[in-house]
């Protein structure tokens, strides 16, 4: 016999509900490495841990960028329970500098995200960018 689920049970919104395999994590996202969009000419760095929830979408710092940004949840779904996970990669923003509605597609956004993900074993880890 099938038991009815309350509607909220299938869509957990907190991190633990979404990623039960992840006990601890650190995610470092560096974008705009040349500091082109920042006031102080420095890259924009975001640091996320299980204590500060990862937003579903990391916004692109290019103020003219539309449809850009980064979603990392897909990567976190491949983390296995109690297994250390480390991943480092670069993403080009897939946004463009067109109009907000998308009628006119502008130049592709040149912003790049450098992402370092570490989960379930943070003990001996140091971000490569900080070395
Ligand atoms: Zn962008």
User: What is the rounded average pLDDT for all residues in the chain?
Assistant: 83
Handedness of CA 94, 96, 100, 101 (dihedral sign): negative
Cα–ligand 1 centroid distance for 50 (angstroms): 26
Domain borders along the chain are 21-123
Strands lying side by side in the sheet with 85-92: 44-49, 25-31, 112-119, 85-92
> Which position has the higher pLDDT, 101 or 45?
45
How large a percentage of the chain has pLDDT more than 70? 80
| Token pair 């109690």: residue | 82
Cα–ligand 1 centroid distance for 18 (angstroms): 26
- The residues placing their C-beta within 5 Å of ligand 1, an ion, are 60, 62, 65, 68, 93, 95, 109, 111
The model carries a pTM of: 0.77
Confidence band, pLDDT 50/70/90 cuts, at residue 100: confident
Q: How far apart are CA 15 and CA 123, in angstroms?
A: 21
- Is the pLDDT at 76 greater than 90? The verdict is no
């Amino acid at each position: 016999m099938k038991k009815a689920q309350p509607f909220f049970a299938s869509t957990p919104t907190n991190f633990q509900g979404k990623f039960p395999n992840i006990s601890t994590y650190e995610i470092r996202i560096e974008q705009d490495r040349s500091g082109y969009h920042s006031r102080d000419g420095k890259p924009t760095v975001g640091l996320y841990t299980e204590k500060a929830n990862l937003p579903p979408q990391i916004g692109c710092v290019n103020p003219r960028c539309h449809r850009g940004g980064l979603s990392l949840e897909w990567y976190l779904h491949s983390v296995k329970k109690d297994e250390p996970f480390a991943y480092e990669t670069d993403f080009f923003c897939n946004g463009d500098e067109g109009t907000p509605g998308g009628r006119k597609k502008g130049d592709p956004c040149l912003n790049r995200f450098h992402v370092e993900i570490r989960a379930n074993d943070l003990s001996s880890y140091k971000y490569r960018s900080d070395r």
